[in-house]
Amino acid sequence: MNQEQWAAVDHYITELLVSPDQVLEAALQTSAAAGLPPINVAPNQGKLLQLLATMQGAKNILEIGTLGGYSTIWLARALPPDGHLVTLEAEPLHASVAQKNISRAGLEKIVDLRLGPALATLKQLAAERREPFDFIFIDADKESYPDYFIWSLKLSRRGTCIIADNVVRNGAVIDPAHADPRVQGVRRFNELLAAEPRITATTVQTVGSKGYDGFTIAIVTADP
Ligand code: SAH
Ligand code: DHB
Ligand code: MG
């Protein structure tokens, strides 16, 4: 089994089950044209996020790490017309590409894109004392996953679903001595998750067009 085969199967699944969509295609094309890295979720993973948010009946979604808005559009489309999605992005170029893609998708009233380091924005969101988020997608810098988890929990309620991307990293996650701080960030995130009594969680390994990685899926079981 190799990358070529994983990508071919992803292609097969996507052709069958993920409807072609000009707005999502345009989001990827404009992101590539602007030089953004191709580290968006795959189409079938975007659909997974959308399905999970729909199952959750989410009305308020938080996304940490917008890039060009690809996963943002998938998630925002799971929302009812009166729903809201807040997405956090530190890079002005990424945010500007994303804002155009969100507008092209007709989601500018639903999506609140906040430019700045996510940690600062998370503190601000907590200070705003808004209603808790129903669904949170963590996908920004891996070094900060432990902090993103702590803040996500603060911004949650009993029943909130927290998803984290890129938690397996080619299997690197099992190496306690790994030199990459991103791997150490994900390990620390896993340890916090494991030690947190208000969380029940699992991780699924994934292969596909984006290589070998994984998603953590967690539910908050008590009001934080
Ligand atoms: N969720 C996107 C991919 C996000 S890639 C998708 O699947 O389509 C990770 C993003 O996090 C990048 O755009 C990067 O600029 C952003 N990022 C990195 N560090 C950040 C930080 N400290 N605060 C906010 N965003 C950050
Ligand atoms: C990277 C970040 C991501 O969110 C992702 O899905 C893949 C790779 C990265 O920083 O390399
Ligand atoms: Mg990711």
Whole-number Å distance, alpha carbon 113 to ligand 1 midpoint, is 12
Using the predicted structure, report yes or no on whether residue 130 has a pLDDT greater than 90.
Answer: no
- Prediction pTM value: 0.98
Separation of alpha carbons 191 and 147, rounded Å: 12
Separation of alpha carbons 127 and 190, rounded Å: 26
Separation of alpha carbons 14 and 195, rounded Å: 37
Ligand 2: which residue has its CA nearest to atom 10?
141
- Ligand 1 pocket test target in 23, 30, 36, 39 with most atoms within 8 Å of CB: 39
Secondary-structure breakdown of the chain: helix, strand, coil percentages, each rounded to the nearest 5: 45, 20, 35
The tens digit of pLDDT for each residue in 154-205 reads 999 999 999 999 999 999 999 999 999 999 999 999 999 999 999 999 999 9
Q: 101 in ligand 1 pocket by Cβ < 6 Å? A: no
